[in-house]
């Protein structure tokens, strides 16, 4: 196909002129956009932040190093640079009072130190006061104690409400009377005696002389911390035999003294004497003067068992200027538990009325020792005081 030699003609019939093409096209400059400006600003901010972060890191590191080299005593308010007043309940180490006991004697390695007064600190610590502690001999800082908890003030108790150990005690129960329990007829059997030796309170036990276990019974009673009496046999109105080492009607003063001294030697040290049976002898004023005179000479008490209402012992005691004690209640005229409880209650009434009550029971009564042991805590809690016979006569 051959090229046409005709030249292009315009619509109006004239020729169309074409502009000559230049060898290189000239670049047009694009205008600077807002996106490029924003990118430049962000980069500048990031660079500035990085520089400031580096400066702050160097600054805090140098500040921490300087703090670890110093260990002052006082608390500092970082915002003002002045010494802060101690908090309520906090120790004042300057004055040497209320030294905290919870600080360890040897500080822990690497524990943070406190700032001294006037030490410059970084901007991040401006809101919280920092407290400091003294250095040890090794130069290591002491672990700071936790802040003391605030407690409400407590009103001190009166001195009367405190015991010697600082423990509060309930007010004492008013005394309702003194109770003396005397157990007669020991010496027949050591097995019958054992429950009375285990009684937790004071107990007086009267031992008959001349029996197989008389001396051993007296020894065991003393070893248990109880009180021993010589249970002196005396002739009764009915004429029955009261047992070995007894005082009988018609004996003179020397015979009476000899018998009593022999019985005392057998039993060893005793606190006093009471009569076993003896309704006939205790009615004889002359015999009773002899017995009581011997008790006064030896420093022994006399307990009148009052086996007869016509006893002459109180009159003989007045003539000699002596104090004696007398039985108020027999515990085991009936040996069942209910009856014994009733006798004890009768004695409590006497104790409240007269200030004391003296009971006499017998070692052979099986219910007696367990019942007394059971009642002891309750009676003492109610205000009754258990006592020995010797203690009661000393109070009279």
Domain ranges of the chain: 46-70+110-137, 177-395
Confidence of residue 124 (pLDDT cuts 50, 70, 90): very low
Distance CA 174, CA 168 (A): 18
Task: Please return the burial class of 30, using the count of CB atoms within 10 Å of its CB with bins 0-12, 13-18 and 19+.
Answer: exposed
Is residue 373 within 8 Å of 199, Cβ to Cβ? Answer: yes
Q: Is the pLDDT of residue 101 over 50?
A: no
Distances (CA, A) of 226 to 196, 199, 222, 233, 358: 9, 9, 5, 21, 16
* Beta-strand relationship, 177-186 and 384-387: parallel
Query: Per DSSP, which regions of 130-207 are E strands?
Result: 177-186, 204-207
Q: Is the pLDDT of residue 92 over 80?
A: no
Q: Is the pLDDT of residue 3 over 60?
A: no
Q: Is the pLDDT of residue 40 over 90?
A: no
Distance CA 72, CA 75 (A): 8
Q: What is the pLDDT of residue 81?
A: 45
CA 57 from centroid of its chain's CA atoms? 57
Query: Per DSSP, which regions of the chain are E strands?
Result: 76-77, 82-83, 177-186, 204-207, 227-234, 272-277, 301-304, 325-326, 329-330, 356-362, 384-387
Confidence of residue 37 (pLDDT cuts 50, 70, 90): confident
Max intra-chain CA distance, the chain? 195
Q: Is the pLDDT of residue 229 over 50?
A: yes
3-state secondary structure of 353: helix
- Higher pLDDT, residue 184 or 170: 184
Is residue 171 within 8 Å of 194, Cβ to Cβ? Answer: no
Instruction: Give the predicted TM-score (pTM) of the model.
Output: 0.59
Q: What is the pLDDT of residue 36?
A: 73
Q: What is the pLDDT of residue 59?
A: 74
Q: What is the pLDDT of residues 277-305, one digit of tens each?
A: 999 999 999 999 999 999 999 999 999 99
Distance CA 77, CA 115 (A): 10
Q: Is the pLDDT of residue 78 over 50?
A: no
Find the helix packing angle between 368-381 and 190-197, rounded to 10°: 10
3-state secondary structure of 341: helix
Q: Is the pLDDT of residue 58 over 80?
A: no
Q: What is the pLDDT of residue 50?
A: 83
Q: 100-114, 183-197, 296-310, 367-381: lowest mean pLDDT where? A: 100-114
The structure tokens 């196909």 sit at 1
Q: What is the pLDDT of residues 308-355, one digit of tens each?
A: 999 999 999 999 999 999 999 999 999 999 999 999 999 999 999 999
Q: 40-49, 209-218, 231-240, 245-254: lowest mean pLDDT where? A: 40-49
Residue 277 tokens read as: 């049976």
Is residue 395 within 8 Å of 276, Cβ to Cβ? Answer: no
Q: What is the pLDDT of residue 147?
A: 55
Q: What is the pLDDT of residue 269?
A: 96
Q: What is the pLDDT of residue 61?
A: 72
Residue 351 tokens read as: 């104790």
Q: Which residues pair with 117 in a beta bridge?
A: none
Is residue 205 within 8 Å of 227, Cβ to Cβ? Answer: yes
Q: What is the pLDDT of residue 149?
A: 52
The CATH number that domain 177-395 falls under is: 3.20.20.370
**Residue 271 has what DSSP assignment?**
S
Q: Is the pLDDT of residue 228 over 80?
A: yes
Sign of CA dihedral 350, 353, 354, 355: positive
Distance CA 221, CA 230 (A): 12
Mean pLDDT calculated for residue range 33-58? 79
Distance CA 389, CA 393 (A): 6
Q: What is the pLDDT of residue 110?
A: 42
Residues of the chain with pLDDT > 70: what percent?
A: 63
Q: Is the pLDDT of residue 135 over 90?
A: no
């Amino acid at each position: 196909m051959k090229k046409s030699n005709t030249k292009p003609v315009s619509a109006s019939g004239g020729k169309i002129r074409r502009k000559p093409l230049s060898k290189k096209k000239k670049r047009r400059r694009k205008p600077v956009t807002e996106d490029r400006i924003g990118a430049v600003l962000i980069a500048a901010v990031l660079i500035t932040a990085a520089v400031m972060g580096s400066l702050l890191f160097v600054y805090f590191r140098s500040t921490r190093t300087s703090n670890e080299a110093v260990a002052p005593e006082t608390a500092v308010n970082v915002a003002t640079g002045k010494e802060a007043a101690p908090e309520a309940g906090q120790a004042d180490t300057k004055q040497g009072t209320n030294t905290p006991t919870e600080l360890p004697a040897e500080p822990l390695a690497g524990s943070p130190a406190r700032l001294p007064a006037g030490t410059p600190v970084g901007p991040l610590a401006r809101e919280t006061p920092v407290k400091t502690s003294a250095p040890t001999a090794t130069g290591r800082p002491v672990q700071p104690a936790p802040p003391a908890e605030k407690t409400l003030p407590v009103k001190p108790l009166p001195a009367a409400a405190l015991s010697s150990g600082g423990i509060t005690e309930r007010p004492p129960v008013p005394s309702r009377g003194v109770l003396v329990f005397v157990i007669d007829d020991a010496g027949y059997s050591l097995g019958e005696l054992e429950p009375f030796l285990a009684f937790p309170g004071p107990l007086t036990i009267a031992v008959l002389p001349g029996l197989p276990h008389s001396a051993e019974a007296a020894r065991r009673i003393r070893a248990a911390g109880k009180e021993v009496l010589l249970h002196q046999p005396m002739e009764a109105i009915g004429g029955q035999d009261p047992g070995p080492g007894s005082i009988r009607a018609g004996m003179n003063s020397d015979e009476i003294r000899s018998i009593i001294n022999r019985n005392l030697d057998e039993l060893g040290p005793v606190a006093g004497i009471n009569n076993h049976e003896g309704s006939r002898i205790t009615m004889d004023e002359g015999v009773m003067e002899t017995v009581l005179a011997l008790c006064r000479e030896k420093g022994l008490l006399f307990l009148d068992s009052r086996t007869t209402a016509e006893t002459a012992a109180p009159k003989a005691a007045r003539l000699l200027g002596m104090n004696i004690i007398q039985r108020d209640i027999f515990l085991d005229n009936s040996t069942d538990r209910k009856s014994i409880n009733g006798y004890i209650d009768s004695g409590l009434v006497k104790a409240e009325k007269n200030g004391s009550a003296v009971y006499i029971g017998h070692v052979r009564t099986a219910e007696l020792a367990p019942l007394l042991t059971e009642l002891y805590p309750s009676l003492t809690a109610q205000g009754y005081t258990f006592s020995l016979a010797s203690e009661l006569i000393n109070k009279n």
